[in-house]
């Protein structure tokens, strides 16, 4: 299965994103073998920095470090995929500024919902940052489900037991991109959250 065949944007209505960096993973993946869904914020400004663009990409480099911090013996993005982890973004285009409008997150949450629907064996959702958390909460609301993650600072709610569609939902911080190197405390927590997801998945 190629996730890019399940969801696509045809009209690009968002005003605060870069259409030229629109990305939905175009990799072949067996949904039944995926036990962890990692959702980060937005596609990178430069498509060459995306998760699956090669080992020199920024998203690949910082994500590998995050999984190594969690104790995973990974040296490539393929190693992470082999652990049963699928990585994507909540917003499918790169952002033009620091923040992302709620309307943009809402628009892309429809694509995200289609993208993650085929995965039947998810044990944990890693929601890396506020944008990912908002997107999943929007999906839950449309489906008549309770919020996956309650309102509040990630720092305060980390460690709580939250669920989304029968799996644990873990609120964390963005691990993809240059922000990963800024705060050592957040980097430590990201590693802890990934380690918890791996335990939940029995990896």
Work out the average pLDDT over 104-119. Answer: 97
pLDDT tens digits, 156-179: 899 889 999 999 999 999 999 888
User: φ and ψ at 56, to 5 degrees?
Assistant: -85, -5
Number of domains in the chain: 1
C-alpha dist (Å) from residue 138 to 19, 49, 103, 185, 193: 22, 27, 11, 28, 22
pLDDT of 92 above 90: yes
Give the pLDDT of residue 179.
86
Quote the pLDDT of residue 2: 93
Q: What is the pLDDT of residue 170?
A: 98
**Which range of residues forms the domain containing residue 114?**
3-200
C-alpha to C-alpha distances, 73 to 68, 93, 168, 195, nearest whole angstrom? 6, 31, 23, 12
pLDDT computed for residue 8 by the predictor: 87
pTM (2 decimals)?
Answer: 0.96
Q: What is the pLDDT of residues 23-41, one digit of tens each?
A: 999 999 999 999 999 999 9
CB neighbourhood size of 83 (10 A):
19
CATH number at residue 73: 3.40.470.10
């Amino acid at each position: 299965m190629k996730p890019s065949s399940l969801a696509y944007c045809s009209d690009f209505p968002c005003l605060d994103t870069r259409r030229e960096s629109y990305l939905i993973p175009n990799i072949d993946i067996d949904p039944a073998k995926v036990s962890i869904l990692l959702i980060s914020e937005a596609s990178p400004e430069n498509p060459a920095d995306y998760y699956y663009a090669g080992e020199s990409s920024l998203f690949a480099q910082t994500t590998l470090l995050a999984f190594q911090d969690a104790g995973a013996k990974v040296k490539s993005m393929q190693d992470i995929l082999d652990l049963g982890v699928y990585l994507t973004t909540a917003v499918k285009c790169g952002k033009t500024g620091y923040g992302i409008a709620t309307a943009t997150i809402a628009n892309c949450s429809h694509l995200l919902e289609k993208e993650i629907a085929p995965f039947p064996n998810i044990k944990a959702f890693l929601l890396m940052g506020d944008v990912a958390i908002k997107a999943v909460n929007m999906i839950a609301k449309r489906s008549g489900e309770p919020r996956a993650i309650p309102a509040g600072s990630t720092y305060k709610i980390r460690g709580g037991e939250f669920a989304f569609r029968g799996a644990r939902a873990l609120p964390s911080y963005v691990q993809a991109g240059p922000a990963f190197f800024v705060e050592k405390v957040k980097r430590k927590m990201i590693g802890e959250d990934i380690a918890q997801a791996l335990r939940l998945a029995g990896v």
